[in-house]
Structure 1
């Protein structure tokens, strides 16, 4: 049972570089920390979004975040918005899942789109949620995929329905 489901008192607002965690449970703050670590530690990462299986944004980085290692330092996500990244990730996840079903390929584990101006990586989290990462064109794809797999491995077992609800409410409150 999570601290959130036990009715724990919310914590004071905290701010980590690029990701804000207002009054969240320990599990939610841990996911924010993991996301911030992914953004700050992996060169070439422009923006990151975690999307629920039904396409709702759960967690994201700020695309104009200075630690995002992007080129130029300005808003570099799709149209400068992690909400747009979340929409793209959800759509791509749905498209690839449909394609895999038509081809009897089983569940999709990861998708990578290489573009002249960057890359888009999408990886499935154990509960059907998706991790999407938008990168600069010169990123090391192996390093990005490795760190995404670490995030998925660490986040997959804690992303319970209660935590997804808490994260969704946090996104709605911040918007």
Structure 2
């Protein structure tokens, strides 16, 4: 990340669980080869954490895209009785959008370069979901949403 990134970092007004969640997302984005941006979105479509280089409009746009894609995937899953969302992968000419369920109805959205190893990124997303998702509660999601809106 550069000095212009807008990632949410540790803050003294957050609980330890919220700080840990933000740290895990930043660590995922910073340590997973090919990952450009990462965001966590609650089941109601609101951002709860992000690690994105760019302007607030970029953050809001990715949040809306991830929420919309999650809704579309949920519609397909429901219509065809395919169960709950695991992952969505959108393959584009110059990169990927990956979305993964992380717990409590929340999802993680990731923008990755075309050079990224999709298997490795998906594996790291699963590790993130296992680590961070277990701590996600409605209370933690509410705290994260309230903090990010400031």
Who is 1:171 aligned against?
148
Greater relative contact order (Cα < 8 A, sep 6+): 2
Q: Which runs of 5+ in 2 are unaligned?
A: 1-5
Say whether residues 1:32 and 2:22 are aligned partners.
Answer: yes
Could you tell me how far apart the structure 2 residues matched to 1:82 and 1:117 are? 19
Say whether residues 1:123 and 2:100 are aligned partners.
Answer: yes
Could you tell me how far apart the structure 2 residues matched to 1:147 and 1:50 are? 14
Who is 1:7 aligned against?
none
The normalised TM-score by structure 1 is 0.78
Who is 1:44 aligned against?
34
Q: Counterpart of 1:131 in 2: which secondary structure?
A: strand
Could you tell me how far apart the structure 1 residues matched to 2:25 and 2:101 are? 15
Could you tell me how far apart the structure 2 residues matched to 1:48 and 1:80 are? 15
Match among 139, 145, 158 for residue 135 of structure 2: 158
| Equivalent pair of 1:47/1:82 in contact (CA under 8 Å) | no
Structure 1 residue ranges, 4+ long, deviating more than 6 angstroms after superposition: none
Q: How does 1:43-122 map to 2 (within 5 A)?
A: 43-64=33-54, 81-122=58-99
**How many residue pairs align between the two structures?**
144
| Equivalent pair of 1:48/1:82 in contact (CA under 8 Å) | no
Question: In the TM superposition, what is the alpha-carbon distance from 1:106 to its structure 2 partner?
Answer: 1.1
Who is 2:9 aligned against?
20
Question: In the TM superposition, what is the alpha-carbon distance from 1:157 to its structure 2 partner?
Answer: 1.5
Who is 2:3 aligned against?
none
Larger radius of gyration: 1
CA RMSD, aligned part only? 1.7
| Equivalent pair of 2:39/2:52 in contact (CA under 8 Å) | no
The normalised TM-score by structure 2 is 0.90
| Equivalent pair of 1:48/1:133 in contact (CA under 8 Å) | yes
